[in-house]
Amino acid sequence: MPDRFENLMPLSPRRAAVPLASSEPVRLEGVGFGYANRPDVLRDINLVLTRGSFHFLTGPSGAGKTSLLRLLTLAERPTAGRLSLFGSDVTGIADQEVPLLRRRMGMVFQDFRLLDHLDAFENAALPLRLAGRRRAEYADDVREMLNWVGLGDRITARPQALSGGEQQRLAIARAVMAGPDLIIADEPTGSVDPAMADRLMVLFQSLNRQGTTVLIASHDENIAARSGATVLRLSGGFLREGLG
């Protein structure tokens, strides 16, 4: 029932609140990156994600997909080159400025990173709470979003009580809850069966159709090919467009 996701898309009114500063949510110029005392994972990466684009990042396990996403979320900093987010150079940005940038992104982590001590409602509401919004303002939106991802009857369940697929959908609900300008998802279909994977892809496609820039990392090239999105391939630390 993927159509159910598309029809009930609840995000459009909120988007007007923050005007987009740039038509390029992401720009990497000659970016290199490596972990301490290790050979570089990424070399000379050049990449521009224009607003409203939909990209797939593929490559074998260990190719550096997660590392590249961690650069975009500012969990790591480039060791070479220049990184711009939403039109401003963030290569050497101060730590205090990071939270505001992150609030414009929705992230889906490979391991979901749900908070085990909070129920589904509180997990989905997290970005809104952190942005300082009041519960009375967002409670209905959160319920609507949970309905939309098919978790309407699991609102008070904790993550441990949810199936893998339900957790994945909750993680996605949280990522899109605050109406982000950019969605970054790391293997968002990694732990679900192919039917569910297709269903979740429909979800990202409908968000993208509303103007959200989407970047999905996945080692599954089949799903990338089927999505119709632009495919980027990482190998040997370099980035190429198109399937290998």
Residue 232 near residue 55 (C-beta atoms within 8 A): yes
Q: Is 96 in the site for ligand ADP (CB under 6 A)?
A: no
| Residue pointed to by tokens 């697929």 | 165
Q: In which region does residue 155 sit, left (phi positive, over 0), alpha (psi from -120 to 50) or beta (all else)?
A: alpha
Q: Is 66 in the site for ligand ADP (CB under 6 A)?
A: yes
Among 17, 19, 61, 132, contact with ligand ADP (rule: CB under 6 A): 61
Q: How far apart are CA 136 and CA 32, in angstroms?
A: 44
Q: How far apart are CA 237 and CA 83, in angstroms?
A: 17
Instruction: State the minimum distance, in angstroms, from the CB of residue 242 to other proteins.
Output: 30
Instruction: State the minimum distance, in angstroms, from the CB of residue 35 to ligand ADP.
Output: 3
The number of residues making up the chain comes to 244
Q: Is 212 in the site for ligand ADP (CB under 6 A)?
A: no
Q: Is 189 in the site for Mg ion (CB under 5 A)?
A: no
Among 63, 192, 229, 232, contact with ligand ADP (rule: CB under 6 A): 63
Q: Which does 67 bind (CB under 5 to 8 A by kind): ligand ADP, other proteins, Mg ion, none?
A: ligand ADP
Of residues 5 and 112, the one with the C-beta less far from ligand ADP: 112
Of residues 75 and 243, the one with the C-beta less far from other proteins: 75
Instruction: State the minimum distance, in angstroms, from the CB of residue 218 to Mg ion.
Output: 9
What's the gap between Cα 157 and its chain centre? 23
Q: Is 59 in the site for ligand ADP (CB under 6 A)?
A: yes
Among 67, 123, 189, 212, contact with ligand ADP (rule: CB under 6 A): 67
3-state secondary structure of 16: helix
Neighbours of 161 (CB within 10 A): 12
Of residues 112 and 138, the one with the C-beta less far from ligand ADP: 112
Q: Which does 16 bind (CB under 5 to 8 A by kind): Mg ion, ligand ADP, other proteins, none?
A: none
3-state secondary structure of 50: coil
* Angstrom distances, CA of residue 163 to CA of 76, 160, 187, 191: 31, 8, 17, 10
Q: What six digits make up the tokens of 229?
A: 């999105």
Of residues 16 and 100, the one with the C-beta less far from other proteins: 100
User: Residues in the site for other proteins, rule: CB under 8 A?
Assistant: 36, 73-77, 92-96, 98-100, 102-103, 107, 109, 113, 115-119, 121-122, 126-127, 129-131, 155-156, 174
* Angstrom distances, CA of residue 90 to CA of 53, 54, 74, 83, 128: 21, 22, 9, 6, 24
Q: Which of residues 53-72 bind Mg ion (CB under 5 A)?
A: 66
In this structure, the dihedral spanned by the alpha carbons of residues 53, 221, 206 and 50, taken in order and rounded to 10 degrees, is -10
Residues contributing to the site for ligand ADP (CB under 6 A): 35, 38, 41, 59, 61-67
Residues contributing to the site for Mg ion (CB under 5 A): 66
